[in-house]
Chain A
Amino acid sequence: MTIARQNRLNTAAAHGALILYTLIALFPVFVIVINSFKTRKAIFREPLALPDADSFSLIGYETVLKQGDFFLYFQNSMIVTVGSLFFILLFGAMAAFALAEYRFRGNLLMGLYLALGIMIPIRIGTVAILEMMVQTGLVNTLWALILVYTAQGLPLAVFILSEFMRQVSDDLKNAGRIDGLSEYRIFFRLVLPLVRPAMATVAVFNMIPIWNDLWFPLILAPAEEVKTLTLGSQVFIGQFVTDWNAVLSALSLAILPVMVLYVIFSRQLIRGITSGAVK
């Protein structure tokens, strides 16, 4: 009896702690979003109240859509994120297959070389990256960002994917070889479909840091027509810092796409982390 009582107390305490922390985690997002729908007066008079008929206003969103080119920024972010993910997955899977499948001289060394980049942040090399992008004329193009994020994402992708590719059955591949499939077909037709879950994990891991990065867009592609959403909202907010309606609306608009991505991919993300893919 006492144990049951204690258990219930424990459970209540656990829920209490989790609810408290959930509130702390969500409160800032909540405050920003509700206030973006209010008039300027209401924002300051009652910051914690929900918008009602009296205080509801979309003036901030109107300013944002008129002044900032948020659709262009969104499009740029999309191109950069999708492009980088495509190359990370394609090149990463190919290299992982070579390392996992074939025995050749330098295999281990190559694996170690590619793994170096897991621990060393690519930002350290920024000065030389900028110089190289200026020399090749890639500065202020989306290609500069795609290349940098691909290089940044490859080490972990190769590491995770080769772990998974080692688990693909040899019998299957050898059956393919006996049927006369080339090594390329074995990779694309037999192995790739089997490691799709691992590819999804790698994609989700890379997606959010690429989408949210501020450093490389700021340095490699600051021009108006190639601004990503993260840099675009940073610059916009900096210019409209006294227009609270516009700032709050811009923040809400920047939150929206990541939240949509999160809702779609959160199960994949959490499964990826908890399955021990990053141990």
Chain B
Amino acid sequence: MAVEPQKPKFRWHIVVFLAPAVLVYTAVMIYPLFNTLRLSLFTEVDQTRVFVGLQNFRTLFGETVWSNQFWNALGNNFWFFVVHMLVQNPIGIALAAILSHPRLRFAAFYRSAIFIPTILSFVIVGFAWKLILSPIWGIAPGMLDAVGLKSLYAPWLGKEAYALTTLSLVSVWQFVGIPMMLIYAALLSIPDEILEAAEVEGITGLSAFWKIKLPLILPSIGIISILTFVANFNAFDLIYAAQGALAGPDFSTDILGTFMYRTFFGFQLQLGDPHMGSTIASAMFAIILIGVCLYLFGIQSRMRRYQF
């Protein structure tokens, strides 16, 4: 609490404390963000910047060359997100539920080990899985052969039908530690009295999880969902590391991040176009904003928080 001086005089120290953070944040994050939105309204004609209004958006959604790529990337991105929601978060919750069991030995070891993939860079993860799944090296087919399922093997990353799902699962493998940790923390914060009261009523084991713990950790699941959403719609690195900027085979793993990169930075024969890149960035911004608002106003405000 501040000691209010009798005569109000300007408190310079507040400015000094705030200035560095506000300046860097504004100059490097907020200003470029709005500048990118602004640049999406311009185009380049004869090396000068010309204002064209919403023309770029008309091109992006109207011309089939662009709109096909955009909807393809958006659809793939949705599938990427769906796989994370359906696989990563349930596995994370299940692992956390097992880990949070009191008197479980080696819990700290399991926790640290399962979190290891999360700390590795996308480059390592992308290439490691590419090598393991590769038909040349034969680890994946060899292991399937050992359990008599060799017929199930296919060069997954090279097939249009499987590549995106495979990469989504690789990403799930990498990040399952995050929901696990957050849910684990939420489960630990449930007071023992509640669980003991339930036990007296005869609710234990699995039914205690479904009836008592799960409703109490719903807010954390909501936070994880929105974190997953933002991270997925802004993903790029894994696809780039594993499949390159062309997001092959035949753009089947193209997501918004790789599409924006190719467009604005250029790749191989395609020239970079910062204005179309900004247009795609603006679309991504709108998608993320809609998602965050849906969460804040639609889900979070309706969720009951329990205070212990």
Contacts and interface: CB of A to CB of B under 8 A. Distances in A.
Interface of A: 10-11, 14-15, 17-19, 21-22, 24-26, 28-29, 31-32, 43-44, 47-48, 87, 90-92, 94-95, 97-99, 101-104, 110, 114, 116-117, 119-132, 147-148, 150-152, 154-155, 158, 170, 174, 177, 182-184, 187, 208, 211-215, 218-219, 230, 233-234, 237, 244, 247-248, 251, 254-255, 258-259, 261-262, 266, 269-270, 273-276, 278-279
B104 A131 contact: no
Contacts, number: 256
Interface in B255-297: 257, 260-261, 264-265, 274, 277-278, 281, 284-285, 288-289, 292
Interface of B: 1-3, 11, 13-14, 16-18, 20-22, 24-25, 27-33, 35-36, 39, 91, 94-95, 98-99, 101, 104, 106, 110-125, 127-129, 131-132, 137-139, 142, 173, 176, 181-182, 184-185, 188-189, 205, 220, 223, 226, 230, 234, 236-237, 240-241, 257, 260-261, 264-265, 274, 277-278, 281, 284-285, 288-289, 292
A22 B110 contact: yes
Contact of A211 (B36, B121, B274, B288): B121
Contact of B121 (A10, A11, A28, A258): A258
B182 A278 contact: yes
Nearest to B170: A28
B235 to A, nearest CB: 10
A60 to B, nearest CB: 13
Contacts of A90: 20
Given A32-B128, A114-B25, A270-B111, A94 B184 contact: no
**Interface secondary structure of A, over-half rule:** helix
A47 B120 contact: no
A251 B124 contact: yes
A187 B28 CA distance: 26
A92 B188 CA distance: 29
A124 B185 contact: no
A51 to B, nearest CB: 16
Contact of B28 (A94, A151, A270): A151
B98 A14 contact: yes
Contact of A255 (B35, B124, B260): B124
Contacts of B21: 91-92, 94-95, 114, 154, 158
A121 B232 CA distance: 11
A125 B17 contact: no
A128 B38 CA distance: 9
B230 A121 contact: yes
B151 to A, nearest CB: 21
Contact of A87 (B24, B220, B289): B24
Given A125-B33, A128-B33, A214 B237 contact: yes
B4 to A, nearest CB: 8
A31 to B, nearest CB: 6
Nearest to B295: A119
